[in-house]
């Protein structure tokens, strides 16, 4: 090919190579994980961690590359942290805190006061109200001070509101029976005192959308907020595949925002009856898509945390006979259609 004066092939070649270099760089630099995509939008996407799985390289690598927030599935519960009275065991919980710190993931603390997964010495003892309060205060104070600066938000109380009429705080569980219905308020008082910087959450299921339980949780939060004891509400969101966000979720999120509370989706999964089929996976992907779209449409929703991330480790098959595959990675850590749906929402 002839070249005119001043049009030597060298600059053309140089321009072509530079263009290629820039294009390659763009591809390489383009955000490619959920974590990177979420980061660009100032959103937190995360997962619950089963500590024994941290030894598995695929598990660890997926966790740190894909998510920017995490929580322990069991290691921060009272039976794990205070197996014997006054004797705390932080080994597993510290392992997750170190992992989160090294890999720059935010860490949620789940959960300080719950009527389940309590240590044997506590659930099998006879306690007066004052003793119950003292035990609660010691636990909250010791744990929160241990993780000060490492755990940014705590589920101070988990699942305290009844599932049936007359709704309201349960008096039929361990804490309700031992302390009384004000156990929730007391727990928040102790938590505020233990770490004034921590974000304090109330966490529950069945109170995400419209309904009497959501109303009861709202009333409880209103009382706590009036005393400046609570900052956020966790919507567990253990749903069946096929779920879609409706007007009830929007209305509930907005009234909580007006109250000055943030929301986190804290335990998300969408289960279905096994065996899996491409159709079931597609339906599940749409549920995940709907949830993330909803989250991003509400400014007070700060995070979306899944209850696990690989179908290799999930509570669902143990608790719902014949159901499973509720998460976004399969048993071999391959992304499922649900993963692609989340990436797609974050990209657009
Ligand atoms: O501690 C024993 C361990 O010693 C033994 O080796 C192992 C053998 O299976 O069992 C261990 O206990 C299990 C524990 O998880 C730790 O793996 C319990 O049997 C099992 O019941 C327990 O289940 C946990 C459940 O909470 C308890 O209520 C699930 O992993 C955990 O995903 C689930 O999480 C809860 C949230 O905290 C609150 N919201 C609901 C959610 C789902 O139930």
Residue in 54, 73, 235, 264 to alter for ligand 1 test, most ligand atoms within 8 A of Cβ = 73
Percent of the chain with pLDDT over 70: 91
Query: Is residue 83 in contact with ligand 1, taking CB distance under 6 Å?
Result: no
User: Does the pLDDT of residue 52 top 70, yes or no?
Assistant: yes
Cβ-contact 329, 315 below 8 angstroms: no
- Cα(154) to centroid of ligand 1, in Å? 19
Q: Which pLDDT does position 32 carry in this prediction? A: 87
User: Which residues lie closer than 8 Å to 12 by C-beta, 6 or more apart?
Assistant: none
Q: For 134-148, what is each residue's pLDDT tens digit?
A: 999 999 999 999 999
Least confident of 14-18, 105-109, 261-265: 14-18
pLDDT interval class at 6 (50, 70, 90): very low
Q: Which pLDDT does position 130 carry in this prediction? A: 98
Q: What is the mean pLDDT of residues 11-33?
A: 52
User: Does the pLDDT of residue 18 top 70, yes or no?
Assistant: no
> Which of helix, strand or coil describes residue 336?
coil
The residue behind tokens 């305290």 is: 160
Query: Is residue 73 in contact with ligand 1, taking CB distance under 6 Å?
Result: yes
pLDDT: which is higher, 291 or 13: 291
pLDDT interval class at 27 (50, 70, 90): very low
Q: Which pLDDT does position 16 carry in this prediction? A: 53
Residue 245 backbone zone (phi > 0: left; psi -120 to 50: alpha; other: beta): beta
- Cα(27) to centroid of ligand 1, in Å? 42
Cβ-contact 270, 240 below 8 angstroms: yes
Percent of the chain with pLDDT over 90: 91
Q: What is the mean pLDDT of residues 214-219?
A: 98
**Residues 311/330/55/158 CA torsion (nearest 10 deg):** -30
Least confident of 11-15, 188-192, 294-298: 11-15
What is the set of active-site residues?
159, 267
Q: What is the mean pLDDT of residues 246-256?
A: 98
Query: Is residue 116 in contact with ligand 1, taking CB distance under 6 Å?
Result: yes
Cβ-contact 214, 250 below 8 angstroms: no
Please give the C-alpha separations between residue 105 and each of 18, 30, 68, 219, in angstroms, as whole numbers. 36, 20, 4, 33
Q: Which pLDDT does position 9 carry in this prediction? A: 52
Q: For 69-101, what is each residue's pLDDT tens digit?
A: 999 999 999 999 999 999 999 999 999 999 999
Q: What is the mean pLDDT of residues 149-173?
A: 97
Ligand 1 atom showing the smallest separation from residue 79 Cα: 1
Q: Compute how many other C-beta atoms are within 10 angstroms of the C-beta atom of residue 206.
A: 17
- Cα(120) to centroid of ligand 1, in Å? 15
Q: For 57-69, what is each residue's pLDDT tens digit?
A: 999 999 999 999 9
Task: Please give the model's pTM, rounded to 2 decimal places.
Answer: 0.92
User: Does the pLDDT of residue 234 top 60, yes or no?
Assistant: yes
Query: Is residue 74 in contact with ligand 1, taking CB distance under 6 Å?
Result: yes
Average pLDDT of the chain, as a whole number? 93
pLDDT interval class at 23 (50, 70, 90): very low
Q: What is the mean pLDDT of residues 314-327?
A: 98
């Amino acid at each position: 090919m002839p070249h005119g004066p001043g049009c030597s092939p060298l600059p053309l070649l140089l321009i072509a190579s530079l263009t290629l270099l820039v294009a390659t760089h763009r591809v390489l630099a383009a955000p490619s994980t959920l974590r990177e995509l979420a980061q660009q939008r100032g959103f937190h996407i995360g997962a619950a961690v089963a500590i024994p799985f941290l030894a598995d390289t695929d598990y660890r690598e997926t966790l740190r590359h894909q998510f920017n927030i995490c929580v322990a599935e069991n290691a921060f519960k009272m039976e794990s942290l205070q197996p014997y009275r006054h004797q705390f065991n932080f080994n597993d919980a510290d392992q997750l805190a170190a992992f989160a710190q090294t890999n720059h993931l935010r860490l949620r603390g789940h959960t300080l006061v719950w009527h389940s997964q309590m240590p044997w010495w506590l659930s099998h003892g006879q306690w007066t109200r004052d003793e119950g309060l003292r035990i609660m205060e010691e636990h909250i104070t010791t744990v929160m001070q241990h993780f000060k600066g490492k755990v940014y938000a705590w589920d101070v109380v988990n699942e305290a509101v009844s599932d049936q009429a007359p709704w309201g705080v349960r008096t039929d569980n361990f804490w309700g029976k031992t302390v009384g219905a004000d156990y929730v308020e007391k727990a928040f008082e102790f938590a505020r005192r233990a770490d004034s910087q921590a974000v304090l959450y109330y966490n529950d299921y069945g109170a995400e959308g419209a309904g009497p339980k959501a109303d009861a949780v709202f009333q409880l939060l209103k009382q706590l907020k009036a005393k400046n004891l609570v900052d956020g509400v966790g919507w567990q969101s253990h749903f069946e595949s096929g779920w879609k966000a409706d007007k009830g979720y929007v209305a509930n999120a907005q009234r909580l925002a007006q109250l000055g509370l943030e929301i986190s989706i804290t335990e998300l999964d969408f289960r279905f009856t096994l065996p899996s089929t491409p159709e079931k996976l597609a339906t599940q992907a749409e549920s995940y898509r709907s949830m993330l779209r909803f989250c991003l449409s509400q400014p007070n929703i700060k995070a979306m945390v899944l209850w696990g991330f690989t179908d290799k480790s999930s509570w669902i098959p143990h608790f719902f006979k014949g159901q499973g595959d509720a998460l976004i990675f399969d048993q071999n850590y391959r992304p499922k259609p649900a993963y692609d749906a989340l990436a797609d929402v974050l990209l657009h």
